[in-house]
């Protein structure tokens, strides 16, 4: 299966278990892998034969910057569900939600979860 990669989509959202996270917000990074057949797109050079990356970005932005969730697992699930519902060509998607600055004491680069969902 062919893949479209969308890496390091950056947003500001209000997700987290702690009240401060839902009030103050923080950065979130999203990586996507979209699995679909790109044969027609490659042969025809037509946007209708693939998935519009700008549209995907805007849908993910609406989710991440929209209604708050306690868990980034829930955010990822919502993203995957939205993409599979909206794009008939999409067969499978992998969604990684990265929380660069969670309120956890210690030294680390980030915390992330990754899910894969398919039709």
- Locate 55 and state its tokens: 């549209």
Alpha-carbon span 36 to 25, nearest angstrom? 34
Which residues are the active-site residues? 99
**Structural contact between residues 36 and 94, judged by C-beta atoms closer than 8 angstroms:** no
Neighbours of 119 (CB within 10 A): 9
Give the count of alpha carbons within 13 A of 38, CB side only: 12
């Amino acid at each position: 299966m062919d893949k479209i990669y969308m890496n390091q989509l950056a947003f500001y959202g209000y997700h987290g278990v702690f009240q401060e996270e839902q009030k103050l917000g923080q950065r979130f990074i999203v990586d996507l892998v979209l699995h679909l057949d790109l044969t027609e797109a490659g042969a025809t050079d037509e946007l209708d034969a693939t998935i519009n990356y700008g549209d995907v970005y805007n849908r993910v932005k609406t989710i991440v910057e929209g209604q708050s969730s306690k868990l980034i697992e829930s955010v990822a699930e919502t993203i995957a569900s939205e993409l599979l519902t909206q794009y008939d060509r999409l067969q499978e998607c992998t969604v990684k939600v990265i929380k660069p600055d969670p309120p956890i004491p210690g030294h680390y680069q980030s915390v992330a979860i990754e899910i894969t969902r398919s039709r």
